[in-house]
Amino acid sequence: MEALTHNDIRDFVATAGAFLEADAVSHSVHLTSVDAALEGRRQPAVLISLHENGTVVGAVTRMEGRPLHVAAMPPAAAPLVVDTLRNGPGFTEITGPLDRVEAIRALWRDGGRETYRLRLYRLEDLVLPDVPGEARPVTPADDDLITDWWIAFVAELDGLPRAEAEERAMDSRWMSAGHVLWTVDGVPVSWAASTTPVGGVSRVGPVYTPPEHRRNGYAAAVTAAVSQWAYDAGAEQVVLTADLANATSNSVYQGIGFRQVSDWSEYKWD
């Protein structure tokens, strides 16, 4: 196997783009990151294509400020990828399917910790829950509300103080996405976002319901609504990842038609 590094995003896409799109469900994060780089919204830090007998068999990407992403890397390529990365930009975070993350982690360096164990889901048959209220698209007038809820989502998810959560949330606002609110009597009670389709796939997230509105089915309703938005925007497949430590969210997503694809890990060295 051979690893080629790319300094130009268009050269990388010309080489590995078709490979990534061939499994757009598993490679959704790669594809949305590459799309952002092509549009100048992200700066690539690592672009590696993996070849065997003249055929592309894998890829590894990292955007500035983001984890190394290894969903498209065959586990057997881990030693080659690690050797390549030791001669270039390093990394302190990695994400992808569990077996690929473990293959890299074992070779990279000691220490570190798993920050999340995740499950990737794909929507099979969308089930619209019977929940009071209605969905509406977010408008510019909702920007302050969405910003506040996005920060609250990150602070709760990562256990961060507001200042750090705000920085991390704003780093995610670059995503080209659709945003939907679930409202009851005109009052927003839940929010969900989904990336615009890339390679025929949209990825749902974040999904957030303020504590005072929880346990009413609103998260299921708004997730179903934003999934329908993604289909209407041209997505052929809708995916999301859920923290396996949160049994409630996993149950909610399965209840509206999401089915398991693979288990993922996020790992970090401080």
Q: How confident is the model at residue 87 (pLDDT cuts 50, 70, 90)?
A: confident
Q: Is the pLDDT at 27 greater than 70, yes or no?
A: yes
Q: How confident is the model at residue 19 (pLDDT cuts 50, 70, 90)?
A: very high
Domain ranges (residues) in the chain: 2-110, 122-263
pLDDT at 64: 92
Torsion of Cα atoms, 98 then 102 then 103 then 106, to 10°: 180
What would the pLDDT profile of 101-133 be if each residue is shown by its tens digit?
999 999 999 999 999 999 999 999 999 999 999
Most confident of the following: 63-67, 154-158, 253-257: 253-257
Distance between first and last Cα of the chain: 31
In residues, how long is the chain? Answer: 270
What would the pLDDT profile of 187-229 be if each residue is shown by its tens digit?
999 999 999 999 999 999 999 999 999 999 999 999 999 999 9
Q: How far is the C-alpha of 51 from the C-alpha of 237, rounded, in Å?
A: 28
Q: Is the pLDDT at 174 greater than 80, yes or no?
A: no
Biggest CA pair distance of the chain: 61
Most confident of the following: 136-150, 155-169, 237-251: 237-251
pLDDT at 169: 62
Sequence-ordered list of residues with C-beta below 8 angstroms from that of 270, at least 6 positions apart, any chain:
92, 111, 112, 113
pLDDT at 46: 97
CA 255 to chain centre: 21
Judge contact between 34 and 63, C-beta under 8 A: no
Sequence-ordered list of residues with C-beta below 8 angstroms from that of 28, at least 6 positions apart, any chain:
195, 198, 199, 201, 203, 239
CATH fold of 122-263, please?
Aminopeptidase (3.40.630)
pLDDT at 9: 98
Question: Does 2-110 match 122-263 in CATH topology?
Answer: yes
CA 115 to chain centre: 15
Q: Which residues of 181-201 are buried (b: 16+ CB within 10 A; e: fewer)?
A: bbbbeeebbbbbbbbbbbbeb
Q: The domain at 2-110 falls in which architecture?
A: 3-Layer(aba) Sandwich (3.40)
Sequence-ordered list of residues with C-beta below 8 angstroms from that of 180, at least 6 positions apart, any chain:
135, 136, 137, 138, 191, 192, 193, 194, 222, 225, 226, 229
Average pLDDT over residues 245-268: 96
Q: How confident is the model at residue 90 (pLDDT cuts 50, 70, 90)?
A: confident
CA 86 to chain centre: 26
Average pLDDT over residues 147-156: 86
